Amino acid sequence: MGMPLIGDRFPDMTVTTTHGPMSLPKDVEGKWLVLFSHPADFTPTCTTEFVAFAKRAEEFNKMNAVLVGLSIDQVFSHIKWVEWIEENIGVKIPFPIIADHGDVAMRLGMIHPGKASNTVRAVFLIDPKAIVRLIIYYPQEIGRSVNEVVRALQALQFCDKNGLATPEGWPNSELIGDRAIIPPPKDYKTAMERKKNVGKGKDCYDWWFCTKKL
């Protein structure tokens, strides 16, 4: 089987973590899973990312989301690194970290040509029904934005709840601010009805581009 794509069910797997064995996605059933990989323990960029994820952990928890990290390091290395972060930076890492031997990373496409055997910086957002909803890859040399992961999760939950789409940069779009996008019409009659709302100060730029303020 190839790596899961957006819209696929996340594959079942049993993993070793700093919090003990986990069965994914079974152990987080009914919650969102934020699974993110990092190249290696005891590296500067990865340390900054883990501190950022830890500081936003409660925010993820309020969004019904579980954080899980991963790299191809032994569990002993993970434990020592977590201990180092708490002792030297004063931040406790509250989420589990998967100790992978390469099987999980290969299965999820986290090992890329030209990057040796280390995992790239991948983020998977998996919904409460175990469906992959978003995948982001960063090269090893660029630290990811935890704010963007939070924003993406908020946007997915907003779209699911309201049946709408979100614009660039939502909720701070350059064009339409915090307004949401109404999905394009699927028939001629609906399209012509929407043309009535086209114009300055109205909700639609055209029949295929209508927005809504919630």
Class of residue 21 by CB neighbours under 10 A (exposed 0-12, middle 13-18, buried 19+): exposed
What is residue 195's DSSP assignment?
Answer: G
State the number of CA atoms in the 13 A half-sphere of 157 facing the CB.
Answer: 16
* Helices and strands in the chain, H and E counts: 6, 10
Catalytic residue among 46, 159, 204, 210: 46
Among candidate residues 28, 25, 137, 118, the one with its CA nearest the CA of residue 73: 118
Residues 29 and 131 sit within 8 Å (Cβ to Cβ): no
Q: Return the beta strands (E) in 73-201 as ranges.
A: 97-99, 121-126, 132-138, 180-182
Annotation says 46 is catalytic: yes
Query: Which ranges constitute the DSSP H helices of the chain?
Result: 44-55, 57-62, 75-89, 103-107, 146-162, 188-194
Residue whose tokens read 């012509």: 192
What is the token pair recorded at 198? 């086209």
What is the token pair recorded at 161? 């709840």
Class of residue 99 by CB neighbours under 10 A (exposed 0-12, middle 13-18, buried 19+): buried
The residues annotated with a catalytic role in the active site are 46
